[in-house]
Amino acid sequence: MDHFLYRDGELFAEDVAVSEIAAAVGTPFYAYSTATLTRHFRLFDEALEGMDHLVCYAMKANSNLAVVKLLGDLGAGMDVVSGGEYRRAQLAGIPGERIVFSGVGKTREEMEMALAGGIRQFNIESEPEMMMLDQVARSMGVCAPVTIRVNPDVDAKTHEKIATGKKENKFGIPISRAREVYAQAAACKGLDVVGIDVHIGSQLTDLAPFETAYGLVADLTETLRADGHDIRRLDLGGGLGIPYEQSNTPPPLPSDFGALIKRTVGHLGCEIEIEPGRLIAGNAGIMVSRVIYVKSGEDREFLILDSAMNDLVRPTMYQAHHDIVPVRAPEPGAARSAYDIVGPVCESGDTFARERQMHRLNAGDLVAFRSAGAYGAVMASEYNSRPLIPEILVQDDQFAVIRARPTFDEMINRDTIPVWL
C-alpha cells in the first residue's frame, strides 16, 4: 500500500496534488510519502513483536537525511555500508548503539570513524577485514563488537546483480569455514564476537530461500555455542521484495517474514536484527517527469521525457519495471497507444520501457514512476552534465524540498582548471 492516489482525476501524494509540487519545484523530481515510510517501518517492527529485536533500515535504499531522521525518530536502527552513510546516520541523530556497519570493503579510516563515534556492531565479511579491525580496535584501546557474515550458498532466485548469498558472490565467509573463522575471531583481543550475520539478496518474492538460509544459521548457532562462542545476536539481513508491477502476484508481507523468523530461529533466544530497505522506501516514493515530445518513428512512437537514466538507472541497469502513470487521469474510454518511453540522454540504453501501453499523452503532460523511492535518487548521477533532481518529502497537506536541484553553475563549479591551462 502507498499514499499516492487519484482524487477527482488528479494524482495526489497524501493530501498534496502532484501537479502542485511540479509547479513549485519543476520537473523531474522525487516525492516521498511520510505516511507510507512510517507504515512500512511499523509493519516490520510489529512483525517481530514478542522478540528482542531491532529493525535496521538499509540506508543504501534511500539515504536522504530527512528520510533517515524520520525513520530514526520511529525507533529504527541503521544499516550502513560506507563512512558517508555512517556520517549521515550521525547527522540524522541516530545513536551509535543503533548503527550496524556492513559492506565488504571497510577501510581503516571508516573503522576508526565508527569506533570513535559509536557502533552497535561491524558485520565482518572476510578474514583480512577481521584482522584489520582487530588491529584498529586495539590501537584505539577499545573492543569492537562484531558478527561474522556467513555465505550459505543459497540461491535467492532474484536478479543476478542483487543476489548476495551464493558461493560465487563476493559477500561473507563460506558457511563451511565458519567454525574455523569464529575460532580465529575469538582469539582476537580487539574483537567481541556477538553473533552471526547473513543476507542472501534483494527483491526476493518467495520465502523459501529465507527459510533455507535461516535454517542453516540456526544449526550454525547451535554448533558455535557448543564450541564455546556466546552467540546472542542474529542479523538476518533484508531483501523482501515489493510489487513493482501492480498486476503481478504480491510478494510476501512483512508479517509472513516475521512469522518465518520466529519459526526458524525463535527458539534460540537471540536478539534479532533485520535490515529492510527497499520495502520500507520503495513504494513510498515516486519520480515525476514531464513529456517533452511525442515522436513518431518508423515503426513505433517515442514518449520523450525530461527525466533520464541518470535520474533513475534501474531500468537500464537491471531491466527493471516501473509502472508509469499519468498525473492527470485519462477520461473514461480515452485512446491508448504503445510507447517506447525514453529520456534525453545520448544513449539507446536511456529507455524506461518498450512498447508500454499508455493512454494518449501530449507534450507538457506529467507522468509518475511508481515504486521509485528505493535505489532511485541514491543511484543518480550527473551524466551528460544533468543536475541531480530534487527530493521532496510530503506529510499530510504540506511538502518540503529535502534536497534542492543544483544550478548549472553549482554543479560545474566543483571542477577546477589547473594553472597550466
Q: Report the largest interatomic distance among the alpha carbons of the chain, rounded to a whole angstrom.
A: 72
Q: Give a three-class secondary structure readout of 321-389.
A: CCCEEECECCCCCCCEEEEEEECCCCCCCCEEEEEEEEECCCCCCEEEECCCCCCCHHHCCCHHHCCCC
* β-pair partners for 11: 6
CB 64 within 8 A of CB 402: yes
In angstroms and rounded to an integer, the radius of gyration of the C-alpha atoms of the chain is: 23
**Interatomic CA distance for residues 99 and 60, integer angstroms:** 13
Which residue among 56, 188, 270, 346 is the active-site one?
A: 346
Query: Among 400, 153, 376, 192, which residue's Cα sits nearest to residue 285?
Result: 376
How far is CA 90 from its chain centroid? 18
| Catalytic status, residue 188 | no
- The CA–CA distances, whole Å, from 317 to 124, 164, 202, 387, 413 equal 28, 17, 15, 20, 29
Q: Whose grid coordinates read 523530481?
A: 29
**Interatomic CA distance for residues 226 and 221, integer angstroms:** 9
The kind and range of the H/E element at 53 are strand 53-58
Catalytic residues: 346
